[in-house]
Structure 1
């Protein structure tokens, strides 16, 4: 294993930034991991009868993956503030590998759903990698690096559906999970060699880390606003991708293969992430946030068109807008002090995923009521995110921790509490 360590100033032991090869590996890793949680979505009609799952409960598969992911964000990802990060990433990937293999051999509904939850739990490793990339990158390049790594995350989510739809035409559904497990295994080997090591300067006991989550969430108004704005946009994202397949079948007679190609075209929006990171590294945070809202709202409005090609372009705009906002917000969140950075990121991601769950929940009802309802809800969500963005001008800066006095006071109180706990144990 390469002896590469990360300094507190965001450089590796040799004084340089995180190598491009490590950044690329993290981005690919995020994509492969994220895809595992969404492989089942287009295959539910095939999987459900094979494992004895009632048709009405088939959607629980994706729901349990998302629930497991949120649990992992709140209870596994904060371990990044307690232990050495490279070993944590590799250990969590090993757990995810076992979950994928268990899913591939599950023969009952209970076993399959439990394995789906475990996949979501292990998928929280993507945020461990994002935090590690932020730790090992100097602030002037952090936006670009975070944007590059998280582009893999969105690409994995968007590509999972077309890939599984295409692969299952040649093999059985269990082979899809075996294939994902094999790719994850091949990826773990170079990650073990090239990921930098990072150990928190002042490790905190796990119990104190978990108990501090509420203190941090309650004390930071800026974190609350960043999470809320992204929750609105991710709700719009989930609403579109939950409703679009029904509309595409009804309006354009699109087949499963056509839907796979449509999702593949929409994945092009992930390419906006590195560009957003480049922009915010140059102080254009406010413009990228405003642009993200415009892109999402425009994407929904374009679906008024009767052309399927315009719909594909609209999908790219929506995906790009959500990704640009996420990279901009996450870069701000990751400007938190290193001692609490992973916990802030976990809270941010977990909160906006609840927004995504809300968008998914209303998608079917909205499309049944008429596509105009989908457009209205999508534009409403985008505009709501814009109002949240504009509510406080401090969000125009990447490093909001320096200007949020209440946040800083709360974090300082938590630090003192943690320090006193360590002194008492000594």
Structure 2
């Protein structure tokens, strides 16, 4: 069997712990770049003289960039040698992070953050790469480990950004992140093997096959819709919580706001557990329970407008549910087309991050009009839609 066939198929003995951890770090560090701004929205808004609603559009800009890259760049993981692709995107990410750190105005900062979103999609090339390198017996657990790194990056970004901004200002956050990307580009170049492509089609045809996969795989379509719901809830929470914690009754500074990211890190353990359960065939039960828990979490979060204990509990519960859903969805979609895992990832993640983009835009409208309770009602409604999608008849 050829090396390409081994990577796409079932004959590989395993990825190895060191490479799994490396890819988890790459995912976490890359995806953190699009979340550094979230706990800093109020601070950045004050620096440039814009309101909270306008500052919240930085989240929208990063996720629009991310979604564009998911559609146009991630499929290249099936077409190009993947170590070189990952290394190049990490280097490009370092450049645009440096531009964000030096941006003289809000418009230029938003443009730079959109490009950060584009290049940070390297995280979604690393996830199917890990799934391809893994053996069949360990794929769910490997994906769970890499995704736990991604979650730690998302939520740890808030804590890191808060402390760095408190110590040296928000610009230092993006400057330090640029240095991390340079370091990771070097480590990936040294630590990963050459990983050949699994596809020889032209680039336009490659993009066309993404739509073919969506058309031909009803379970992929279902998981795409559920991915959008989960990311929508996640984004509603983490886009709006900065506004809640920065204002009455809390009045927290960037460092304390950033610490709330630690409350969500319990989801990293859930990612590992969900991966193991997927390997054992329990993913349907996991999805059913997680969707119900996701909806219930918004009740706790609603109480969090006046109770920090309820707020922390709601954050933990929502992130546990979202990570269980994410791992269960990915363990299913990667089994649908082993030779096209990057393209399957594109279909799923474009839907997921479009859900996040719509949710962040929704927060920009709802929070100024209805406050924290309004966004909790919005999040609960989105979760209920997910339950409806899950119980639709299967064709």
SS at match of 2:335: coil
| Match in the other structure for 2:341 | 341
Contact 1:11 1:136 in 2 (8 A): no
For 1:341, what is the secondary structure of its paired residue? helix
- Output the CA distance in 2 between the equivalents of 1:345 and 1:107: 36
Distance 1:95 1:137, change over 3 A: same
| 1:305-338 alpha-carbon deviations (Å, 9 max, x no partner) | 4542232121011011111101110111111323
Asked which structure has the greater RCO (Cα within 8 Å, sep 6+), the reply is: 2
- How far residue 155 of structure 1 moved from its aligned partner, in angstroms, is 2.0
SS in structure 2 opposite 1:165? Answer: helix
Out of 162, 187, 193, the position equivalent to 1:196 is 193
Contact 1:10 1:134 (8 Å CA) reproduced: no
TM-score, scaled to structure 2: 0.89
2:156 is equivalent to residue 156 of structure 1? no
**Counterparts of 1:389 and 1:139 in 2: how far apart (Å)?**
26
Match in the other structure for 2:70: 73
Structure 1's 323 and 111: CA in aligned 2 closer, same or farther, altered over 3 A? same
Other-structure match for 1:396: none
Mark the CA change 1:53 to 1:112 in structure 2 (over 3 Å): closer, same or farther: farther
Matched with 1:398 is none
Match of 1:147 in 2: 144
CA distance in 2, matches of 1:110, 1:222: 40
Task: Return 295-304 or 143-152, whichever deviates more.
Answer: 295-304
Instruction: Report the counterpart of residue 329 of structure 1 in structure 2.
Output: 329
Q: 1:354: how far off?
A: 1.3
Cα RMSD over matched residues?
2.6
Conserved 8 A contact 2:234-2:322: yes
Quote the offset at 1:228 in angstroms.
0.5
Structure 1: unaligned runs, 5 residues or longer: 394-403, 405-426
Q: Is residue 352 from structure 1 mapped to residue 344 from structure 2 by the alignment?
A: no
TM-score (norm 1): 0.83
Partner of 2:297: 299
**2:287, 2:325 within 8 Å by CA — same for their partners in 1?**
yes
Residues in 2 aligned to 1:96 and 1:154: alpha-carbon distance in whole angstroms:
19
1:151-172: CA deviation from partner (whole Å, max 9, x where unpaired): 2222212222221121112113
- 8 Å CA contact 1:11, 1:137 repeated in 2: no
Q: Following TM superposition, by how much is the alpha carbon of 1:295 offset from its aligned partner in structure 2, in angstroms?
A: 2.1
CA contact (8 A) 2:235 2:359 kept: yes
Instruction: Supply the distance in 2 between the matched residues of 1:291 and 1:317 (Cα, whole angstroms).
Output: 12
Is 1:386–2:376 an aligned residue pair? no
State the Cα distance separating 1:346 from its structure 2 match. 0.7
| CA–CA distance in structure 1, aligned partners of residues 103 and 91 of structure 2 | 18
Q: Which residue number corresponds to residue 170 of structure 1?
A: 167
Alignment partner of 1:26 out of 23, 26, 29: 23
Provide the C-alpha distance between the structure 2 equivalents of 1:111 and 1:377, rounded to a whole number of angstroms: 31
Stretch of structure 1 that moved more, 306-315 or 270-279? 306-315
Change (3 A) 1:113 1:366: closer
Equivalent position to 1:181, from 172, 178, 183: 178
How far the C-alpha of 1:231 sits from its partner, in A, is 1.1
SS of the equivalent of 1:391 reads coil
- Out of 85, 88, 104, the position equivalent to 2:85 is 88
| Pair member with larger Rg | 1
Partner of 2:130: 133
Of 35-44 and 149-158, deviating more is 35-44
Check conservation: 2:60, 2:360, Cα contact below 8 A.
Answer: no
